[in-house]
Structure 1
Amino acid sequence: MKSRLLIVYLKELLETLRDKRTLGMLALFTLLYPAMIGFMLHQGIDKSTKGEREGIELAVIGAAKAPTLMAQLGQKNITVKETAPMDEEAIGELLRGKKVVAVLRLPEDFIENYYAMRPARVEVWYDSATDTGPQRREVEDVLQAYGANVASARLLAHGVSPAALTPIQVQRYDTGTNAARSAVVVGSIMGILFFPAFMLSLSAAVDSTAGERERRSLEVLMAQPAHTWELIGGKWLAASTLGIVGVTLELILAHVILKWLPLEEIGMSWSLGWGDLLLVCLVTVPLSLLAGALHVALAMNAKTFKEAQTILSIVIIVPFIPGFVVSFLDLKTADWMYLVPMMSNQTLVKELSKGGDLGAMPYLLTFLCSAIPALLIVAFASWRMKSERYVLAV
């Protein structure tokens, strides 16, 4: 004989799965956020490697005046397109066409100033509204290197060592790994994957409480020989199941995408293994249980379906606030962050992405900080449901 809790759970879950809109929402959130993460990172990788793949085309006016400079540009995979003199309006039109990264113009007095050892002006024209910033900076690096070489040659011609201009030589050693550098970015991006835990359980929780009250089917359910904790427990577990399934699939899909993307092209990495991911999925289960409990308990207080939706649409913003405040204040990771639901999950993923050994305590705290409030909320809702006058609003 099945337990009454299981019967209520299966009944609510079956009714939820019959709703095509709920299934559509589950599929949407499961695919949307990982796809967004993959698309954004892919675009970043594409932009950073565009110069290497396609090369850099640079329009140069007066290229014959600086043959050595043109040779150095060619060594850096920068294609020089010698261009006839043009005015400012024509240069702007050329840049808006996005056929070249920038326009390099050497004025008429360039050679005269160069041989007179006066600063020879070089004009770099570019359009900051385009996405050619990295390629333009490569051109500017070549110009700076060219200027430094000329300065060194002049000093040597006068019997002065170029080393006299650099009394201090700074050597930098970066001990940070790609995983540690990318932890903040990737961890923040992954943090959005936990939000659907609150979105996916909302519809089922509202329909099984405020919706049943409007349809007058809640009275029939309460007349059955079942305890209030069995009724509330079944509704809670049915609503939470959608969140558990959706978030787990999201995390797995995002993990596959991050493993597939060449993050090393932009100095990032994703070091989580499948074992770490399964542990993250496990400790995230209570977050979905907390979301389901919160939705069921609050929707019980609403007299209509629309009122419940309005209340919960405001409440689901609350879990975002702690993470937003921590990010805004740029706080370092602390133990207390593992005691705040949802922020604990975000912190755990961020620290795991650094590749270090966290130990068992962060996992335990992340699990309990959502599991304990979920059980307390369900117990409170079960206690309040004992009052038919309260539940039925009579």
Structure 2
Amino acid sequence: MKPKFLVVFIKEFRETLRDKRALGLLALFVVMYPAMVGLGLGKLIDRTTTPEREGIEVIVIGGQQAPTLMSLLKQKNVNVTESGPMTDEAITNVLRDKKVVAVLRLGDKFGDTYAAMRPARIDLWFDSASDSGRKTRDVEEVLRNYGNSIAGARLLAHGVSPATLAPVQVQRYDTGTNASRSATFIGAMLGSFFIPAFIFCLSSAVDSTAGERERRSLEVLLAQPARPVDLIVGKWLAAGALSVIGITLELGMAHGVLKWLPLEEIGMSWRLSSVDLVFVCIATIPLSLFAAAFEIALAMNAKSFKEAQSTVSFAVMLPMVPMVVVPMLELKTATWMYLVPVLSNQTLLRELAKGQEIGAMPFILTFGSSLLIALACIGWASWRMKSERYVLTV
């Protein structure tokens, strides 16, 4: 004979699979977050590699006065288009069309000022609201190198070594690996993968408690030879199972997207192995069960189905708090982080993405912390189910 809670679970899970709204949410969020991260990183990769493939379009006004500068720009893959005099308004309109990255304007007296060894003015016009900031910085670097080369030549002409201007030479060594850089950059995004755990089970958790009570079908269930705890555990497992399925599919899809993207183009990599992913999915199971238990407890405390929907919908924002606050504080990874649901999962995935060996303790703490809170919520919901005032909506 099957345990009674298992009978309730099978019944509730079958009804959940018939709910098009619940399945629609499952399909939407399984695809949405991995797609958002993939599109965002893909656009970043395109922006980073575009200058090397397409060059930088620049308009130069009065360029014939500085032939050396024109040569330097062309050597740095900058496509120079020389133009006659342009008004400020005309330059602004050209930049708004976003066909060129910048406009360089050399004054009419540039040559005379240069020959007199006085600072020769070059106007650099650009649009900071466009997405060509990296290209603009490349143009500024060319101008800076051009100015340094002129300064060096003038110093040599006066018998002074250009090294006088650089008394200290700084040599930079970056010990960060691609994996650690990617984990730091992508770390803020990883928390978003666990938010849907609270969304996948929302419809089932509310409908199987507040919905059944409002439809008076809960009284029929309580009249059956089953304890309130059996009913609650069955409903909890049914809602939690849907969340477990959704989170597992979402993490698998996100892993595939991050593996597929050429992160090496931006100095990053995704080191999470398939075995690590399996352990992360296992450690995430209690988070899904906690989400279902928490929403069931909240829905049972509401006086109506509509109130339950509103209350639980606001509760979905709860996992976003540690995900947003902790990265802003720039805290170092600590053991206590593995005791906070959602934050523990985010921290676990981030550390594994760095390619580090973290041992078994973080997995145990991540698994146990969410499970204990879930059991506490279910215990409270089972006690609440025993109340006739609750069942009769008194």
Residue 274 of structure 1 corresponds to 274
Task: Give the CA deviation at 1:328.
Answer: 2.5
Decide whether the 8 Å contact of 2:214 with 2:304 is kept in 1.
yes
Higher deviation after alignment, 369-378 or 230-239: 369-378
Kindly provide the amino acid, as one letter, of the partner of residue 298 in structure 2: L
Residue 217 of structure 2 corresponds to 217
Kindly provide the amino acid, as one letter, of the partner of residue 70 in structure 1: M
Decide whether the 8 Å contact of 2:210 with 2:304 is kept in 1.
yes
Does 1:203 find its partner at 2:199?
Answer: no
**Percent same amino acid among aligned pairs?**
62
Task: Give the CA deviation at 1:179.
Answer: 1.6
Decide whether the 8 Å contact of 2:179 with 2:271 is kept in 1.
yes
Residue 134 of structure 1 corresponds to 134
Does 1:179 find its partner at 2:164?
Answer: no
Secondary structure of the corresponding residue to residue 21 of structure 2: helix
Query: CA–CA distance in 1 between the matches of 2:279 and 2:187?
Result: 16
Query: CA–CA distance in 1 between the matches of 2:133 and 2:315?
Result: 42
Q: How does 1:321-332 map to 2 (within 5 A)?
A: 321-332=321-332
Decide whether the 8 Å contact of 2:61 with 2:104 is kept in 1.
yes
Residue 367 of structure 2 corresponds to 367
Residue 47 of structure 1 corresponds to 47
Kindly provide the amino acid, as one letter, of the partner of residue 312 in structure 1: V
Kindly provide the amino acid, as one letter, of the partner of residue 7 in structure 2: I
Residue 285 of structure 2 corresponds to 285
TM-score norm. by structure 1 comes to 0.97
Deviations 1:285-318, CA, capped at 9 Å, x for gaps = 0000001111112212223211111111122222
Q: How does 1:81-160 map to 2 (within 5 A)?
A: 81-160=81-160
TM-score norm. by structure 2 comes to 0.97
Kindly provide the amino acid, as one letter, of the partner of residue 301 in structure 1: N
Query: CA–CA distance in 1 between the matches of 2:332 and 2:104?
Result: 45
Kindly provide the amino acid, as one letter, of the partner of residue 58 in structure 1: V
Task: Give the CA deviation at 1:188.
Answer: 1.3
Q: How does 1:344-363 map to 2 (within 5 A)?
A: 344-363=344-363
Query: CA–CA distance in 1 between the matches of 2:354 and 2:53?
Result: 30
Q: How does 1:21-100 map to 2 (within 5 A)?
A: 21-100=21-100
Query: CA–CA distance in 2 between the matches of 1:359 and 1:45?
Result: 33
Two-structure CA RMSD over aligned residues (Å): 1.3
Decide whether the 8 Å contact of 1:204 with 1:239 is kept in 2.
yes
Residue 390 of structure 1 corresponds to 390
Query: CA–CA distance in 2 between the matches of 1:85 and 1:322?
Result: 56
Decide whether the 8 Å contact of 1:301 with 1:391 is kept in 2.
no
Deviations 1:29-68, CA, capped at 9 Å, x for gaps = 1111111111111111112222112111111111111111
Residue 318 of structure 2 corresponds to 318
Task: Give the CA deviation at 1:82.
Answer: 0.9
Secondary structure of the corresponding residue to residue 58 of structure 1: strand
Count matched residues: 394
Higher deviation after alignment, 221-230 or 337-346: 221-230
Residue 250 of structure 1 corresponds to 250
Higher deviation after alignment, 123-132 or 231-240: 123-132
Query: CA–CA distance in 2 between the matches of 1:186 and 1:328?
Result: 14
Secondary structure of the corresponding residue to residue 393 of structure 1: coil
Kindly provide the amino acid, as one letter, of the partner of residue 67 in structure 2: P
Secondary structure of the corresponding residue to residue 60 of structure 1: strand
Query: CA–CA distance in 2 between the matches of 1:305 and 1:334?
Result: 41
Query: CA–CA distance in 2 between the matches of 1:188 and 1:390?
Result: 41
Query: CA–CA distance in 2 between the matches of 1:132 and 1:352?
Result: 34
Kindly provide the amino acid, as one letter, of the partner of residue 135 in structure 1: K
Secondary structure of the corresponding residue to residue 85 of structure 2: coil
Decide whether the 8 Å contact of 1:384 with 1:391 is kept in 2.
no
Decide whether the 8 Å contact of 1:60 with 1:82 is kept in 2.
yes
